[in-house]
Amino acid sequence: EDQVTQSPEALRLQEGESSSLNCSYTVSGLRGLFWYRQDPGKGPEFLFTLYSAGEEKEKERLKATLTKKESFLHITAPKPEDSATYLCAAPQTGANNLFFGTGTRLTVIP
Amino acid sequence: KAGVTQTPRYLIKTRGQQVTLSCSPISGHRSVSWYQQTPGQGLQFLFEYFSETQRNKGNFPGRFSGRQFSNSRSEMNVSTLELGDSALYLCASSLGREGQPQHFGDGTRLSIL
């Protein structure tokens, strides 16, 4: 059964304190692992797509990596504006729709 | 480039009523997917339309329906509203090809009284 699990559920960091968010997945024939950021009252904002184990992508203070079983979103020296819920998602086997993890709610304290 | 536009942003309805939500995708995107987001269940897939045809459907009752027009704009309809239908309804568009990212609108917040 296709499944995406995120941890931790919530994370509080001091400004400048680097950390990582985890997304483990069980998908037959992965056709992309997606990371999104969601701010309160907004829709998810696309961040990255990773397609194969070993792939890495970066954007500002964020770096996403992928292994055969999990993906990590590394946040380096976070700022308060990085506070948001981070979601990972994968396409359902044989379809185009995404199934999402429950997200990690990140709070960065000044 | 304009993003995905959803209207209205907020709706308040009572039980038993019906509602129609609208979504305008990114120009050139032929696939439109709808999701329901609630605090307890997270993001759940409702259905996907591609070139005016429903291509995939999630596990929701028949009260939830949708359609897509020739300009790729899509509407979602919920009939006989129940209290549990209160949620943020999100629309996402994409090129529709395998592995392509979906881009989301800011949703319609539906509250049922």
Q: pLDDT-derived band of residue A20, with 50, 70 and 90 as boundaries?
A: very high
Q: Does the CB of B107 have a partner CB in chain A at under 8 Å?
A: yes
pLDDT tens readout for residues B88-110: 999 999 998 878 899 999 999 99
CA distance, residue A60 to nearest chain B CA (Å): 20
| Residue B33: CB atoms within 10 Å | 28
Please report the pLDDT score of residue A19 as a whole number. 98
In chain A, where do the E strands start and end? 3-7, 10-14, 19-26, 33-38, 45-50, 56-59, 62-66, 70-75, 84-91, 98-100, 104-109
Interface contact B103, partner A, CB < 8 A: yes
CB contact under 8 A, A98 and B107: no
Specify the higher pLDDT residue, B15 or A94. B15
Question: What span, in angstroms and rounded, lies between the C-alpha atoms of A67 and A88?
Answer: 14
The two tokens of residue B92 are 């996402």
Cα nearest neighbour of A30 on chain B: B99
Positive or negative CA dihedral for A99, A104, A105, A108? negative
Question: 39-78 in A: which are within 8 Å (CB) of B?
Answer: 41-46, 49, 51
pLDDT score recorded for residue A95 = 78
Give the bridge partners for B66, in sequence order: B76
Quickly state the pLDDT bin for B7 (edges 50, 70, 90). very high
* Alpha carbon distance A92, A2 (integer Å): 7
Higher pLDDT, B2 or B70: B70
| Per-residue model confidence (pLDDT) at position B100 | 87
As a whole number, mean pLDDT of residues A90-110 equals 91
- Alpha-carbon distance of B23 to A72, in angstroms, equals 32
Q: Residues A31-66: pLDDT tens digits?
A: 899 999 999 999 999 999 999 999 999 999 999 999
Chain A: closest CA distance from residue B63 (Å): 20
Running DSSP on this structure, what letter comes out for residue B51? T
A110/B contact by beta carbon, under 8 A: no
What pLDDT is attached to residue B1? 64
